Amino acid sequence: MRETGAIILAAGMGTRMNTALPKVLHLIGGHPMLRHLLDALQGAGISRQVVVIGWGAEAVKAALPEVQFVLQEPQLGTGHAVLTARQAFADFEGELVVLYGDVPLLRQRTVSAMLAAVSGEASADLTVLGFRTSAPSGYGRMKLGADGGLERIIEDRDATPQEQEIDLCNSGAMAGDAGMIFELLEAVGNTNAKGEYYLTDIVGLAGERGKRVTVFETQEDEVMGVNSLAELAAAEAVFQSRRRNEAMDNGVTLSDPGSVYFAHDTRIAAGVTIGPNVVFGPGVKIEAGARIEAFCHLEGCHIGKNANIGPFARLRPGTRIGATAKIGNFVELKKAVIHQGAKANHLAYIGDAEVGEGTNIGAGTITCNYDGVDKHRTEIGKGVLIGSNTALIAPLKIGDGAIIGAGSTISADVEGDALAVERAELRLMKGWAGKFWQRKRAAKKAKETKD
């Protein structure tokens, strides 16, 4: 079987981003743009993937250490960039797809379709990814022949008024036999205003050599480029819209879809209900029947069946919530395991802790897990009642069935079924408050009279 390969061009500076971060490392759904493309390639079964880098090369390599990179230096255009990767395909026989690192929303199915168009019994030698738009200004126009093949790509500045009316535009991505692509690139010149070698020039060269070039069309939003932070925000909006629709199609109820934000790897089972203004960071999995109420922020956590979270809850990485557990408003969890049926209904911080089945955490409870240098663990057993405004100083163990009196500071282990109370004895001084207020008001009146 012939192999499939991909080259991603990611060497540009991204000057319009106005940030120190290489353009392809900017995040969409919590994932670098370049990683989105690599995931699509992996899903399409691409056996060899090479990324061409230039500006910010060390940062890109550090962010994606498992990827095969080649360095384009100097940077002499897109055609030159592809040729830079030629040595990485020296022993390669098969179809090659060329993509752009700043076009991150390309779907797996589109990559597969492009390769299918130039393999097997397909009649195309080269296929170019195109899209139709009502605002084609600035894009290269794709002029088709009578047989439906691609005759040439006309740059916007070179198009005649009639050609400017063409709404089929070039995305820049293409696919074809690897050997043919490299051979055509060897013939590309740089007699243009920038003195660069353009990948798109191989379309005309292929036609001159009797090769059949076709267009594979996709939706405009799938090939939107990201060259500024405004365009990054637009791409994020497209990504979020896709994920919201996918979630609802898969049986997830979103009461206000436009206010819910997903990460690239958010996994939600059918039958989950999500309220408005909920944000998912990376690494969240939610099982069937759970409810996520309004204004919650979840990251790196696993929520069990029929659990209830929020409103206004924050779940940080390492948190696991058991079935039917309840985490209420203004509760923050970090590296916390909350077992089945346990509750922390309001105003609590539970960090580096394990809470047993059926335990109730009262309002204002905190686990004091950090001593200024190290983090320490709190272990709370089954069926424990933790009273309100309790400070649990880790490391600490509280046995099954214990009760911790409200307002206590607990710094030693508590055995099962015990009552632990740590409070100062109440002192009651009758009449003291009345005399206090009398003195304060008299002093204030004397001061006002003097002034």
Catalytic residue numbers, as ranges: 346
Measured CA angle at 354 (ends 284, 318), to 5 deg: 25
Distance of CA 402 to the CA centre of its chain: 42
User: Are 101 and 85 spatial neighbours (Cβ–Cβ below 8 Å)?
Assistant: no
Indicate the SS3 state at residue 329: strand
Q: What residue has token string 């195109």? A: 130
Q: Which two tokens stand for residue 151?
A: 């005759």
Task: Report CA-CA distances (Å) from 323 to 83, 287, 289.
Answer: 55, 9, 9
Q: What residue has token string 């057993």? A: 381
Q: Which two tokens stand for residue 172?
A: 């820049």
Q: Which helix H or strand E contains 40, and what residues bound it?
A: helix 33-43
Q: What residue has token string 């709370």? A: 380
Task: Please report how the helices 33-43 and 108-117 are oriented relative to each other, as an axis angle in degrees rounded to 10.
Answer: 60
Phi, psi (degrees; rounded to nearest 5) at 275: -80, -175
Q: Is 334 exposed, middle or buried (0-12, 13-18, 19+ CB in 10 A)?
A: buried
> CA–CA separation, 437 vs 433, rounded Å?
6
